[in-house]
Chains A and B, each alone.
Chain A
Amino acid sequence: MREPLIFDQGRPGRRAPSQAPAVAAGTDDLPAALIRRTPPPLPEVSELQVVRHFTRLSQLNFSIDTHFYPLGSCTMKYNPRAANKLAMLPGFLDRHPLEPEAHAQGFLECLFDLQEMLKAATGMTGVSLTPMAGAQGEFSGVAMIRAYHQARGDTARDQIIVPDAAHGTNPATATMCGCDVVEIPTGPDGDVDLAALRQVVGPRTAGMMLTNPSTLGVFERQIAEIAEAVHGAGGLLYYDGANLNAILGRALPAAMGFDVVHINLHKTFSTPHGGGGPGAGIVAVNDRLEPFLPIPIVGRRDGAAGHAYRWLAEAERPQSIGRLSGFMGNAGVLLRAYVYMRLLGAEGMRRVSGYATLNANYLMKRLAAAGFTPAFSQRRASHEFIISLKDVTRDTGVSALDFAKALLDKGFHAPTTYFPMLVPECLLIEPTESEARQELDAFAQALIEIRDLAFKDAAEVKSAPRTLPVRRLDDVRAAKQLDLTWQSRADSPAVSPR
């Protein structure tokens, strides 16, 4: 099953004429030297060809809508269609971002309500919706932490502490903000090594970034001690909200001692991942950091005639770290999250964490009973858990990567593999609350069958996948013989002679 490149499907002069102006307007008034000499190499195809090509491409993908997708740390839950449909109402979709506030009251009200709900879900006192993804939320958080210290004249704080199991975005963000990264180890039970933390905090500590529950799939039980250690040294505590789905409505980051949190709305609040984005990485903060929030922020004026919503002007936010986007972040993603949150309500949010955790613990127990090795079997799983395949790999040579590929053949998207890196041959499995018990059982059965086959015929497992559009791809070739764009060939039918 292969689909030719769109470029290779064209014929010179073929077009989809109803999509562009019927007449080519003159441009004689533009200086001749500015006019493009050769047309850009875009495909020359009909509308039907386009529709067929991209429909066929879509069918080469796994997705939540078609497959169980237990990708740890990514929260691949069902994306309700209502959220998409309602965010695409013309009143939202056709609005220019610089439209006057008076024309945008419905939109601004949604954003204001969303800010308030996110404060409630985190226990924080201020929110900015503008960060466009988790990494931008992290950037905002660390930039606010730096701005806070600098505003106090405490200018020597340039270190960000992260656990060794942290997402790669944490250290990358610290570097972007001009900070040095200090990594601390994880203890044998999955909690942060508190003694190591106490040794590294000090006058250079700007803050610490922590995910809780951690990337190891367990709740950090010493969170109060960690907060005390970091705050005691004058640093602030950053909550990476990648795993908020696990504790939604059950514990508040603010109460745990965090000063700032980012939330990936495309995880916990179910906006679609879109094959890589867009997301939204809103930030919520306590009073200490509130003046530094990135803009824009939506404000409300309460008057006799009701509420009026408005953008808080730059002059009202003089200490803000500034702007992060050309207009208002990923506004359409914010609307999708808003719809989802209104559909859930407070009780629904609490159910999300409850059933996500039920599913993870059930699947972990089921796999442990079948002889798999959970990385932290004495701990409760959060909404995700880790299986280490180290023993299977040692005995059969079949690795976590091989399991991942074999799962694809069985119609399941693979869990996250080789992250966190401290657990060898690991699968990080996050079923989410959307999946029924029967789906979890089928997935467990698939893993059992793959392991059985590994002991009987390792080569067979290592040859997976066999049922997909391609088999295993040569990554080394991709990196060494870079082929990043289609090159028009002289004899290609897609290029018009001009």
Chain B
Amino acid sequence: MPFIPHTTDDTAAMLGAIGARTIDELFDEIPPALRVVGLPGVPVGLSEAAVTRLMRERAARNRATLCFLGAGAYEHHIPAAVWEIATRGEFYSAYTPYQAEASQGTLQLIYEYQSMLAGLTGLEVSNASLYDGATAFAEACLMAVRGARQARARRIAVPRYMNPVWLKVARTLVAGQNIELVELTATAGRTDLEALADLGDQDFAAICIPYPNFLGGFEPIDELTNWAHARGMLVIAACNPTALALLRPPGEWGEKGADIACGEGQPLGIPLSSGGPYFGFLTCRKALVRQMPGRLVGGTLDVDGRPGFTLTLQAREQHIRRSKATSNICTNQGLMVTAATIYLSLLGSEGLRRVAAQCHANTLELVRALASVGGITAPSAPFFHEAVLTLPWPVAPVLQQLAAAGILGGYDLSADFPELGSALLVCATELRTTEDIAVYRRALAGVLGVAVAA
């Protein structure tokens, strides 16, 4: 029997000890009318060999492409050691480290992870992960409402070029608590500082500043941070973690620094994997630690005075605080954090900075190459590793034709942001080569019917 070790003799002896004749008899407390004997709709079980054949066949039908698409998930190199180690059974098949003495490996790893993410974001405290970037953003909003100095403020200000899906997710998750996400006016791809005056004296708990924003560009981080703090608001940074090796961290924004940082951890060693599992990170100033959702690991001493690690401040969490917990989260993305911690250890600050710089350089090269195709306009403002190109034709059919040629050409912005016109968001990570970029340029020129020099 698959995954069941009982011999016939074992089963008979065990039933004998219980005083039952059959296994079915053990279900005699289920009212007879509710019992079923089969599961029509579930196929018969297959051997491992047969399932392997099936899954290989299905995986092969997922076409491999040359990827210039980001929009929240990025194809980076993942060192071989990352998943070789993360899938060791001792990490992979362990539970949440509630029994600290039997979980020092996981606990120390999370402590190291917390240290790395706090350092990357320039803040003091990190939790042990949330589900993904979108839910980390939602939890950051909830946390800000709890931690806001203006105790009744239930609005969060959000720039126009926030990841549109994150905004949808956050709206789903905060809807029940009457929290409103208010969009700020933008000009030229970033928040319009002069338009902030239009907000009048409405109460806001916080502003969330994407870094870089969904278009790959930069918000006026210092001005927005100072503006928000002057109004008694908290500042949430929504960051790309790769970028933080190169760019000024949220803890150093404006005069006082951002209060909370959140983001999508996928770029840190997590495969694209059709959309998940990824992980969300959340860091904050120490003063806000009791508003933090999710698990926290702390250092302490054992009875012999030896250092060790344990889950701490658990009274914030659902298993203790129940209806008054900071969040309902229990299971998080532990294995993804394991991978990310190994990834960050292998890269180090210089390695991660080089990855970030190479992503930026490759995107710059891509933008220049594509903008040399007739009719395409490149962005004028600085960008990090994604950028908006404006095409002379609607984006969707262009992307379709590129896809048919095996190229993921980018993200069509026209549905989310119609004011941008025929706008295409492109991305080149450190994995794209000059040859890859040339392939894209030729294909795009072909689709647009423009002749280009080789």
Contacts and interface: CB of A to CB of B under 8 A. Distances in A.
Contacts of B187: none
B418 interface: no
Nearest to B133: A326
B344 interface: yes
A249 interface: yes
Contact of B330 (A36, A135, A470): A135
B105 A58 contact: yes
Interface centre among A107, A135, A278 (most CB of B within 10 A): A278
B334 A275 contact: yes
A43 B95 contact: no
B117 to A, nearest CB: 9
A178 B308 contact: no
A272 B99 CA distance: 18
Contact of A174 (B19, B116, B323): B323
Interface string A69-112: 10100101111101010101111111111111011111101100
Interface stretch (A46-54, A194-202, A231-239, A283-291): A46-54
B357 A26 contact: yes
Contacts of A478: 298-300, 310, 312
B17 A365 contact: yes
Contacts of A218: 29
Contacts, number: 698
Interface in B48-85: 48, 51-52, 54-65, 67, 69, 71-73, 75, 77, 79, 81, 83, 85
A435 B14 CA distance: 13
B5 interface: yes
Interface in A262-288: 264, 266, 270, 272-279, 281
Interface residues of A, number: 201
Contacts of B351: 15-17, 19-20
B382 A277 contact: no
B42 A97 contact: no
A91 B172 contact: no
Given A98-B73, A471-B303, A355 B6 contact: yes
Interface string B409-441: 001000000000000000000100000000000
Interface string A230-272: 0000000000000000010111100110000000101000101
Contacts of A366: 17
A191 to B, nearest CB: 10
A21 B354 contact: yes
A77 B95 CA distance: 11
B272 A96 contact: yes
A142 B104 CA distance: 36
A90 B47 CA distance: 22
A264 B338 CA distance: 21
Interface stretch (B174-182, B195-203, B227-235, B369-377): B174-182
Given A92-B274, A116-B41, A357 B26 contact: yes
Contacts of B190: none
Contacts of B218: 31, 34
Nearest to B177: A178
A21 B355 contact: yes
A339 B30 contact: no
A427 B263 CA distance: 38
Contact of B89 (A65, A92, A484): A65
Interface in A457-498: 465, 468-475, 477-479, 481-486
Contacts of A99: 62-63, 65, 69, 274, 408
Contacts of B350: 15, 20, 24, 39, 44
B58 A348 contact: no
A228 to B, nearest CB: 13
Given A62-B102, A65-B93, A485 B126 contact: yes
Interface in B317-356: 317-325, 327-336, 338, 341-342, 344-355
Contact of B336 (A69, A82, A221, A278): A278
Contacts of A35: 246-248
Given A327-B73, A434-B5, A25 B358 contact: yes
A417 to B, nearest CB: 9
A216 interface: no
A134 interface: yes
A15 B102 CA distance: 32
A9 to B, nearest CB: 9
A385 to B, nearest CB: 12
B188 interface: no
B6 A436 contact: yes
A42 B345 contact: yes
A473 B310 contact: yes
Contact of B102 (A91, A104, A408): A408
Given A58-B105, A473-B301, A482-B312, A435 B325 contact: no
A274 B334 contact: yes
A454 B352 CA distance: 54
B446 interface: no
Given A132-B131, A342-B46, A361-B26, A275 B97 contact: yes
Contact of A277 (B135, B176, B335, B342): B335
A42 B101 contact: no
Contact of B36 (A78, A103, A109, A252): A252
Nearest to A360: B26
Contacts of A63: 89-94
A42 B344 contact: yes
Contacts of B303: 471-472, 474
A451 interface: no
A261 B79 CA distance: 39
Given A24-B354, A274-B338, A326-B72, A321 B172 contact: yes
B386 interface: no
Given A109-B58, A135-B331, A470-B100, A274 B94 contact: yes
Contacts of B124: 484-485
Nearest to A348: B45
Nearest to A212: B30
B102 A43 contact: no
A473 B357 contact: no
Contacts of A43: 344-345, 348
B165 A323 contact: yes
A399 interface: no
A384 interface: no
A138 B328 contact: yes
A278 B280 CA distance: 11
Contacts of B321: 168, 172
Contact of B403 (A86, A100, A110): A100
Contacts of B273: 92-93, 95, 331-332
A424 B20 CA distance: 29
Contact of B328 (A44, A135, A345, A365): A135
Given A21-B355, A479-B312, A485 B60 contact: no
A391 to B, nearest CB: 23
A105 B119 CA distance: 41
A486 B2 contact: no
A329 B408 CA distance: 22
Given A5-B108, A35-B246, A172 B77 contact: no
Contacts of B360: 25, 27, 30
A22 B198 CA distance: 49
Contact of A279 (B279, B331, B338): B331
Contacts of A303: none
Given A106-B62, A143-B172, A413 B296 contact: no
Top 8 nearest A-B pairs (CB, nearest first) are A345-B45, A91-B59, A65-B89, A274-B335, A120-B41, A276-B334, A327-B275, A106-B58
13 contacts: A24-B354, A26-B357, A31-B218, A40-B352, A84-B92, A91-B61, A178-B178, A249-B36, A275-B92, A275-B338, A278-B335, A355-B1, A479-B313
Given A58-B90, A326-B134, A437-B13, 15 more contacts: A35-B247, A42-B347, A57-B104, A60-B104, A103-B62, A133-B332, A139-B328, A275-B92, A275-B97, A277-B331, A281-B331, A408-B101, A468-B104, A473-B302, A477-B301
